[in-house]
Amino acid sequence: MKNLVENLIVFIATLVVIFLLATVILPRFHYSLIVIKSGSMEPAIKTGSALVVKAQDKYQRGDIITFVNTDNEIVTHRITAVLDNQKGWVRYETKGDANNATDMFLADQKQVVGKVILTLPYVGYGIGFLKSKPGIIILIILPTLYFIVREGWKIKTELKKMKDKPGKEGVS
C-alpha cells in the first residue's frame, strides 16, 4: 500500500511538472494551451478537452482556430469563410460545429491565437482542477504533508533503534 501511495504521488507530481513546463515552454514556440469550457465544437472537440494551438501566418476554410472575440472571450470555432480585401485585412467567419448559425461577429486576423493542432480529451478538467483551491491542496499540500510525516516516522524509528541498542546510552 505504501508503494502504491508513493507511486501515485510521484505520478501526480510528474503531471503537475509537465503542466507547469507546458505553460512556460509552449508560448516561447508560439503554441498555446487552451481549455474548452463549452460544447459548441462537439463532437469534434469535447467539453473539458485541452487544446494545443499554434500561431500561423494564414488560416483557411475548415481550420479550427482559437481567437479572442469582441467581448474578450477566448473562442474556438471552425472557419466557414475567409474574407479579405486589397487593403490587407483578413477576417474569418466562424461557427461552432454544434451551433445552428455562424457567429455574429467576424474574427480579425489580429484576434486569432492560432490553429488547433492537438486535442487532448478530458485533460482540461484536470487543468481546471489544478487551478482550484482543492486541487492545490490535494496536489501540493497533501503530498508535502505525506513526505513530512513519512520522514518524521523514519527519524522516530531510528531514534528508537539507537535507544534499544545494548551498551549504548539512549538519546534523550
pLDDT band at 21 (very low <50, low <70, confident <90, very high): confident
Residue carrying the nine cell digits 545494548: 166
Q: Give pTM, 2 decimals.
A: 0.72
Q: What is the mean pLDDT of residues 129-142?
A: 80
Q: Which CATH architecture has domain 2-159?
A: Ribbon (2.10)
What residue type is 121 in one-letter code? P
Q: Which residues contact 73 (CB under 8 A, 6 or more apart)?
A: none
Residue ranges with strand state E in 64-131: 64-68, 74-84, 90-95, 107-108, 112-120
pLDDT of 167 above 70: no
Q: What is the pLDDT of residue 63?
A: 98
Residues 33-83 pLDDT 10s: 999 999 999 999 999 999 999 999 999 999 999 999 989 999 999 999 999
What pLDDT was estimated at residue 101? 96
Interval 100-130: pLDDT, tens: 999 999 999 999 999 999 999 998 998 888 7
Percentage of residues in the chain having pLDDT higher than 70:
95
Contact assessment for residue 115 and residue 63, using Cβ atoms and an 8 Å cutoff: yes
In the chain, the N- to C-terminal Cα span, in Å, equals 33
